Amino acid sequence: MIVTPTVLLLCALAACLATAYALRGGLTSTNKLTMLGMDAQGIGISLLSVAAAVWFFGATFGLALIAVIVIHEFGHVAAFRVAGHHDARFRLVPLLGGYAISNRPVKTQEDQVFISLMGPAIGIAPMLLAYGLTPFSAQYFPAAISPLLTFASICGALNFFNLLPIWPLDGGKLTASITSVFHDRAPFCIFVTSTALIGLVALLTQSIFIGFIVIMGIQHIVKTGGSDGRAPHARMSKNHAFLCLGAWLFSAAALFIGGLATILRFV
């Protein structure tokens, strides 16, 4: 079935509305959005992040990458707020992306899944919107085609990567929270398998970045045995776990399709 530009744009707008509904109450806050260390040092680190991305990847790709990271981290912050963590904030980290934090522990596995998933999942709507606007920009503003396609593809690829079942990625946290409901040792087995596979990819591609992820994954396995999804969170029901698993897989599939061009570029 061929999807027309109008249908694609309508789907993108529907995804935007669905995202806004899922994060209702978290997109705005009585507390201003805080970037950790929003002083001269914090601003300097953020500017360094932008400069590093532009230097290594070029202006279009680098700026699109930073935009995707900011949207991703804001997704976590908004989800934190929905869960009652109004102190949540995020920080950009040069060459590594960013991270969102809250001073209070997450109380339930459902909250942990929601917070972990909404970082990558918030990217589906802007990814679709960028793809949806591309045919119209070809008519009215051709110069926007390349930035839109670059942003959309990076948005899909980066967020798909974050959903892989590897610690400390969001997918690793989802693995710990969801699979532990079915068996206490499931997260450990999955982490060992996924870390071994990604380690093989690191060797074949000689990627320092992927190697760094592997080292962090090994440290997590040795230190915790992959048990972070169980305590101190209140355990969810198996029905909720299946729903969370479905949301995870759907998000990963959508982002993979949208980010395939960038994924193939770096594999």
Report the chain (267 residues): mean pLDDT per 10 consecutive residues: 75 89 74 46 50 63 82 87 76 54 76 89 92 85 87 92 85 87 82 84 76 77 59 72 92 93 78
Report the C-alpha gap between 100 and 93 in whole angstroms: 11
pLDDT for res 94: 47
This prediction's pTM: 0.81
pLDDT for res 192: 84
**Strand, helix or coil for residue 90:** strand
Number of other residues whose CB lies within 10 A of the CB of residue 173: 23
CA-based nearest residue to 191, from 201, 179, 202: 179
Report the C-alpha gap between 99 and 139 in whole angstroms: 38
CA-based nearest residue to 153, from 126, 171, 172: 126
**What is the chain's length?**
267
DSSP 217-242: HHHHHHHHTT-TTTSSSBPPPHHHHH
The order of strands in the sheet holding 97-101 is 34-35, 89-93, 97-101
pLDDT for res 17: 92
- Scanning 180-207, the segments in alpha helix (DSSP H) are 186-205
pLDDT for res 102: 67
Q: Is the peptide bond before 168 cis (omega within 30 degrees of 0)?
A: yes
The phi, psi pair for 196, rounded to 5°, reads -65, -45
CA-based nearest residue to 159, from 167, 169, 173, 150: 169
pLDDT for res 34: 47
Report the C-alpha gap between 79 and 119 in whole angstroms: 8
**Strand, helix or coil for residue 141:** coil
pLDDT for res 257: 93
pLDDT for res 50: 55
- Scanning the chain, the segments in alpha helix (DSSP H) are 5-22, 40-57, 59-82, 109-121, 124-140, 145-162, 170-179, 186-205, 208-224, 238-258, 260-266
